[in-house]
């Protein structure tokens, strides 16, 4: 945060640009790093690193706090085979006693280049046929130095015949995107900050597609898959992606990259999710993740979300989340902007670009709002605390709804919907959050990759520039305070209300069919308060709900319902049958090695959230998802015969 004191807010963005240039580049020879990915199928990566050094003590480090994960997730425990040599001699090292990411060496007289070899054991984002390689697995560089001041030149070697997708600039001819067997692909000199932000996608079944060719700078999606047919994306997906590029161009009015590459793996074993970068994003979905409309619906906001991070998160970053190195802890207090606003914009852009319909957007929003409204942990923990504690609440735990998780994502989604519809209401729909984004994310105009920190006051100032209001109180009330109920005001201002019906929406039915759906297993959550799998396993129990009052616990398994062996259908039939009478739902439940009889005293029937239009009110909610550009239509797909 010391790098950009108030200069930016004073509008001197040119100074910021000048500061951003890696000044050390001209003075120091770059580190040379060659990442050898030929052993990807065995889940081993290798690197040879040549570092310019001077005689005397030297501390080298690997990255610890990884941007975008908001955690100390650098894989130091998986780094192995570390050997240092210089002038043909092995040089001894000792790990730092406190900072376990650091290696201490003494460089002998007469040595100007230190060679390091290291390997990394990698278990995620990797399969027999592909890898999404993040450089923190193999990076080694001088400790206690701002990472953007360390010049480095990367090269990469991949298995024969595999393609390469990356935002790095290739400088070796004929070695990109599909290098000749054994060839090493060299990239232009960059700095350690940018290299960590520039992953390499590689795979046997590789496709690179240009997107929205009329938009400058250039955008591509690089796709690798475990099965040969999957990486050849359907025309309808490519059309939505080109629409996404046009929609973001129209929404943000600026960009902060020289080129943008969506990197996508399609694999059932390589793991998934998304990790944002300034000029690319690392996205992983299942093998068939984009193979048909139903699978695509589940992933609809993934690519829009990660793309939006190039503006919100990468270019504009909360002061506490931007540190000059990867050793200083990142502070998450403003993650409800970094992630929360991205969650809102990613979903809005998914609908605008055609990854989902307006109705599907509303159905998914209803599920999100209902889950937050039925998160009992909100009576003790604020949304801000879920952000401050982001690095320790990231992973799933039983009783998650009582502890809370990374709720700042979805809380932020509702908050920014509230702000968007409020601006529309205050300005008779003349202005919207679109105007705020242009100001907040577009300061400085078009730039290359750059990080410009902000604080709470700047948010308030930019919101006031769009529509004068007491935005500081608006934000504090929703973020810092304990709110027993979710922020449903945006839905109301948008012309809808959250209601519960006795049948799931078409979107919920489609999502529930997808294995591992993000909000799957919630079909009994708003009724008896159970998240239960198809085999009867209870993954969570809603705190103070009917199942909690009946003493059920996460980890238990329902064996029988009303005297019959468990199935999801039998459980739903029992919830329906108990409606309006006094007979409880009878269960036989296994807990560890014991079995017991449990009665749930619940009689209000099935409950599925949906948004219902309030007639006679302005329909701002649907205005938020209208495209800003003319959407490209893909050629109609051949209908497959019904099976």
> Which residues bind to Zn ion, rule: CB under 5 A?
339, 342
**CB of 308 vs Zn ion, minimal distance in Å:** 8
Helix (H, G, I), strand (E, B) or coil at 285: strand
Between vectors from CA 480 to CA 476 and to CA 481, what angle results, nearest 5°? 95
Q: Which is nearer to Zn ion, 204 or 339 (CB)?
A: 339
Nearest CA among 251, 258, 253, 250 for reference residue 278: 258
**CB of 346 vs Zn ion, minimal distance in Å:** 8
Residue 459 tokens, joined:
């948010």
**CB of 502 vs Zn ion, minimal distance in Å:** 35
553 burial (CB, 10 Å; 0-12 / 13-18 / 19+) is middle
Q: Which is nearer to Zn ion, 323 or 342 (CB)?
A: 342
**CB of 480 vs Zn ion, minimal distance in Å:** 22
Q: Which is nearer to Zn ion, 70 or 352 (CB)?
A: 70
**CB of 306 vs Zn ion, minimal distance in Å:** 7
**CB of 275 vs Zn ion, minimal distance in Å:** 8
Nearest CA among 348, 343, 285 for reference residue 514: 285
CA distance 640 to 630: 28
Residue 89 CB neighbour total at 10 angstroms: 9
Place of tokens 């907040």: 440
CA distance 250 to 467: 20
Q: Which is nearer to Zn ion, 142 or 318 (CB)?
A: 318
Q: Which is nearer to Zn ion, 60 or 390 (CB)?
A: 390
**CB of 268 vs Zn ion, minimal distance in Å:** 23
**Backbone region of residue 156 per phi and psi (left: phi > 0; alpha: psi in -120 to 50; beta: other values):** beta
Cβ partners under 8 Å of residue 137, min gap 6: 45, 75, 78, 79, 120, 122
CA distance 329 to 75: 16
**CB of 71 vs Zn ion, minimal distance in Å:** 13
260 and 280 in contact (C-beta within 8 Å)? Answer: yes
**CB of 276 vs Zn ion, minimal distance in Å:** 6
Sheet holding 260-266, edge to edge: 205-211, 219-225, 260-266, 280-285, 273-276
**CB of 72 vs Zn ion, minimal distance in Å:** 18
CA distance 96 to 150: 21
Q: Which is nearer to Zn ion, 149 or 339 (CB)?
A: 339
Q: Which is nearer to Zn ion, 441 or 552 (CB)?
A: 441
CA distance 43 to 127: 7
603 burial (CB, 10 Å; 0-12 / 13-18 / 19+) is middle
Q: Which is nearer to Zn ion, 156 or 335 (CB)?
A: 335
247 and 311 in contact (C-beta within 8 Å)? Answer: no
Q: Which is nearer to Zn ion, 44 or 251 (CB)?
A: 251
Burial code of 161-195, b = ≥16 C-beta within 10 A, e = fewer? ebbbbbbbebeeeebbbbbeeeeebbbebbbbbbb
Q: Which is nearer to Zn ion, 158 or 275 (CB)?
A: 275
């Amino acid at each position: 945060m010391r790098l950009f004191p108030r200069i930016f807010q004073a509008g001197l963005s040119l100074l910021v640009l000048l500061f951003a240039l890696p000044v050390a580049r001209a003075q120091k020879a770059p580190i040379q790093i060659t990442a050898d990915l030929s052993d990807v199928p065995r889940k081993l990566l290798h690197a040879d690193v040549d570092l310019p050094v001077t005689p005397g003590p030297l501390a080298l480090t690997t990255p610890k706090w990884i941007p975008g994960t908001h955690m100390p997730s650098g894989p130091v425990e998986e780094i192995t085979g570390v050997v240092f040599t210089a002038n043909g001699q092995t040089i001894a090292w000792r790990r730092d006693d406190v900072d376990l990411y650091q290696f201490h060496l003494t460089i002998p007289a007469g040595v100007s280049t230190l060679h390091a070899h290291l390997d990394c054991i990698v278990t995620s984002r990797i399969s027999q046929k592909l890898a999404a390689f993040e450089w923190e697995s193999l990076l080694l560089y001088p400790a206690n130095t701002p990472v953007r001041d360390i010049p480095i030149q990367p090269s990469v070697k991949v298995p024969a015949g595999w393609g390469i997708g990356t935002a790095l600039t290739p400088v070796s001819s004929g070695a990109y995107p599909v290098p000749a067997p054994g060839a090493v692909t060299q990239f232009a000199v960059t700095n350690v900050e940018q290299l960590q932000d520039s992953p390499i996608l590689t795979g046997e079944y590789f496709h690179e597609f240009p997107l929205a060719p009329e938009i400058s700078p250039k955008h591509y999606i690089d796709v690798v898959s475990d099965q040969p047919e999957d990486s050849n994306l359907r025309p309808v997906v490519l059309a939505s992606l080109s629409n996404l590029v046009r929609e973001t161009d129209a929404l943000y009015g600026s960009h902060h990259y020289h080129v943008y590459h969506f990197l996508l793996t399609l694999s059932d074993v390589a793991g998934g999710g998304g990790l944002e970068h300034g000029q690319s994003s690392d996205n992983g979905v299942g093998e068939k993740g984009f193979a048909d409309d139903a699978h695509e619906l589940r992933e609809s906001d993934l690519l829009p979300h990660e793309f939006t991070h190039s503006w919100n998160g990468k270019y504009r970053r909360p002061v506490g989340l931007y540190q000059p190195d990867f050793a200083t802890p990142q502070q998450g207090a403003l993650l409800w902007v970094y992630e929360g606003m991205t969650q809102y914009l990613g979903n809005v852009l998914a609908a605008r670009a055609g990854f989902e319909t307006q109705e599907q957007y509303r159905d998914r929003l209803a599920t999100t709002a209902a889950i937050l409204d039925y998160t009992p942990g909100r009576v003790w923990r604020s949304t801000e605390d879920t952000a401050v504690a982001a690095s320790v609440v990231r992973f799933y735990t039983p009783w998650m709804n009582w502890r809370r998780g990374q709720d700042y994502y979805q809380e932020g989604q509702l908050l920014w919907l509230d702000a968007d519809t409020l601006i529309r209401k205050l300005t008779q729909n003349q202005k919207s959050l679109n105007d705020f984004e242009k100001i907040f994310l577009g300061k400085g105009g078009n730039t290359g990759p750059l990080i410009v920190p902000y604080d709470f006051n700047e948010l308030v100032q930019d919101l006031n520039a769009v529509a004068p209001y007491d935005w500081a109180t608006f934000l504090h009330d929703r973020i810092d305070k304990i709110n027993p109920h979710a922020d449903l005001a945006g839905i109301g201002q948008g012309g809808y209300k959250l209601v519960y019906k006795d049948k799931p929406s078409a979107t919920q039915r489609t999502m529930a069919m997808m294995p591992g759906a993000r909000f799957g297993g919630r079909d009994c959550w708003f009724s008896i308060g159970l998240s239960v799998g198809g085999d009867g396993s209870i993954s969570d129990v809603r705190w103070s709900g009917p199942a909690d009052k009946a003493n059920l616990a996460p980890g238990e398994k329902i064996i029988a319902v009303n005297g019959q062996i468990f199935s999801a259908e039998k459980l739903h039939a029992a919830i329906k049958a108990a409606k309006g009478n006094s007979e409880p739902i009878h269960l036989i439940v296994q807990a560890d090695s014991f079995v017991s009889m449990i009665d749930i005293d619940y009689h209000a029937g099935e409950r599925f959230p949906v948004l219902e239009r309030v007639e006679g009110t302005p329909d701002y909610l649907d205005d938020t998802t209208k495209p800003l550009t003319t959407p490209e239509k893909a050629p109609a797909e051949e209908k497959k015969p019904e099976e």
